[in-house]
Amino acid sequence: MPAARRPAPRTRYVALLRGVNVGGKGIVSMAALAETFRGLGFEDVRTYLNSGNVIFSARPTPVAQLGATIEPAIERDTGLPVSVLVLDDAAVRSVVQALPTSWVTDATVRTDVLFLWPDVDDPGVLERIPRNPEVDDVRYTPGALLWRIDRVNAGRSRETRLVGSALYKRMTIRNANTARTLHKLLSA
């Protein structure tokens, strides 16, 4: 009797789509997006929120290769060019573990996780961002910038000055609560 074949090992990933369903632009159905991922042969596909977070399983593959496969498929199926940053569970876990537990997004505090594309992922990125040291608490961790501000001081923050910059186009932003939830979903 032949030995039973073991299923190929799978790794959990999250695809973070940049600029999807923000401000009425780049509208993409999450159900259609999930179908695109299934059509690529990915398994355990799940979307989270309407902002372009897709969790999936695949054979261990370099994340850049996954992104290069996913981006043209999304454009083919939606007609929209969308930049995609793919992270594995370990990368998301590392970023979430670097977040101080008090850094949340609620009525008094806003904490953003600015996930970085590999070409700008370097501690020197801190020198390239506008910030007001009196109100902006910004930290680098491999893979992301962590940005915390008390909402009462939001008008004094310089985070919005990133918009439109070359650096801004090489990051995708999620709030701390979303980043933590993505980590939980990847680990489940």
Question: Are 182 and 115 contained in the same domain?
Answer: yes
Residue 2 lies in a domain: no
| The pLDDT value given to residue 62 | 96
Question: Are 99 and 181 contained in the same domain?
Answer: yes
Residue 32 lies in a domain: yes
C-alpha span between 42 and 132 (Å, rounded)? 43
| The pLDDT value given to residue 1 | 54
In which domain, by residue range, is 39 found?
Answer: 11-90
pTM, whole model, 2 decimals?
0.92
Question: Are 81 and 163 contained in the same domain?
Answer: no
Question: Are 76 and 108 contained in the same domain?
Answer: no
Q: DSSP labels for 77-131? A: HHS----EEEEEHHHHHHHHHHS-TT---SSSEEEEEEEE-GGG-SGGGGGGS--
Question: Are 98 and 182 contained in the same domain?
Answer: yes
Per-residue pLDDT of the chain (188 residues; tens, 9 = 90+): 555 666 678 999 999 999 887 766 778 899 999 999 999 999 999 999 988 999 999 999 999 999 999 999 999 999 999 999 999 999 999 999 999 999 999 999 999 999 999 999 999 999 999 999 999 999 999 999 999 999 999 999 999 899 889 999 999 999 999 999 999 999 98
CATH code at 43? 3.30.70.1280
CB neighbour list of residue 186: distance below 8 Å, 6 or more residues apart: 12, 13, 14, 55, 89, 92, 93
Question: Are 64 and 81 contained in the same domain?
Answer: yes
Boundary (domain end) residue, out of 53, 69, 90: 90
Residue 133 lies in a domain: yes
The tally of domains found in the chain comes to: 2
Question: Are 141 and 71 contained in the same domain?
Answer: no
Question: Are 79 and 52 contained in the same domain?
Answer: yes
Question: Are 64 and 103 contained in the same domain?
Answer: no
Question: Are 127 and 51 contained in the same domain?
Answer: no
CATH code at 125? 3.30.70.1260
| The pLDDT value given to residue 3 | 59
